[in-house]
Amino acid sequence: MAIQPKDAHLLWGKAAGRCSMPDCRKPLVSVSAEEKAPNNVIVGEMAHIVGRKNSQVNARGISTLPVSERDKYPNLILLCPTHHTLIDKDEADWPIERLHTIKREHELWVEQQLGKEIDLQLQIYDDFIDRVALAFRLENWEWLCDCLFRKIMPVDFPEDVYQIGFEHFRSIMPGRDKHFEASLSNLITRSRAYLDYYMSESEMIPGDPRIMPRKRYRDVPEDDFETKQKAIAEHMKWDRNTTMLLFNFVRALNEFCEVVRKDLRPSFFARKGLFCVHDFMGLMGATLTETWHIPPRYFEQEELDAPYEPQT
């Protein structure tokens, strides 16, 4: 009876494809009898703990384990060729109990190493979650979003957002949670698109803690009516598009938080609920009545490209 594929797969998986000897643990490759092993690789060998056949000559050939069970996973240990030869050359020094202990301890070591790797992966995610909470001022979101909606951007906000984007660009993401990584990437892309557009027609005044719109139309003489109207229309288009891109940013933020709560931190800003676009002055409805808006969709590029048309 030969070793069945299911037993081989289980052995290789639980040993993580490494020699089970604690002073070795070299990475191994699996090569079939018909294949030729590449150079500079070590071919793994599935060694029998209890000898494959009953034998009074070999120390590990004496066992009550049925011969029909000796090609199965519980009786196999993954070794490099050197250690396979070693345990078979002097079976008295490598009794059955010792090999079972070595196999068990190696598989435990594999589990511990995988646990450390998973912890490291989660730490990378945790770091980004914390950075998002700080960069986007989630503890003070109502204040921040009201400022952004009224085009009064805190002077340190862009630097924090661009910095987290730079850190994300450099990071090697684990690939463990594709939904989280996609939502983080989308949030960074949407927030930077908003910032890039806002900053394109804004200015920083020394000593002022705000980044304000330039409002170039104010520089056009009143008697140049046509040029002034064109400049006003361009500014109003910028104002409209900035609001659209802010809505896109807020929608991406909510999607990110939803994934975080679902996959990683169930209580992440759960008490706050959804993050809204806050219009404390009622500017959107021109009613001077405080309103909140939860973006129902993303604004597409063709909507941003559309010319500004005054509301009547």
Domain boundaries, the chain: 5-112, 136-305
Does 131 score more than 90 pLDDT? yes
- Give the least confident one: 77-91, 275-289, 295-309: 275-289
Give the tens place of pLDDT for each residue, 230-257. 888 888 899 999 999 999 999 999 999 9
Give the tens place of pLDDT for each residue, 159-170. 999 999 999 999
* Distance (Å, whole) CA 309 – CA 233: 8
Closest C-alpha to 254, from 237, 287, 276, 232: 276
Q: Are 275 and 254 in contact (CB under 8 A)?
A: yes
* Distance (Å, whole) CA 110 – CA 7: 18
* Distance (Å, whole) CA 15 – CA 10: 8
* Distance (Å, whole) CA 283 – CA 293: 12
What is the reported pLDDT for 1?
63
Handedness of CA 48, 49, 50, 51 (dihedral sign): positive
Q: Are 200 and 153 in contact (CB under 8 A)?
A: no
Angle formed at CA 195 by CA 230 and CA 256, multiple of 5 degrees: 135
Q: What is the pTM of this model?
A: 0.64
Does 13 score more than 60 pLDDT? yes
With cut-offs at 50, 70 and 90, classify the pLDDT of residue 41. Answer: confident
Does 47 score more than 70 pLDDT? yes
Q: Are 19 and 84 in contact (CB under 8 A)?
A: no
Does 288 score more than 60 pLDDT? no
Instruction: State which H helix or E strand residue 135 sits in.
Output: helix 96-135
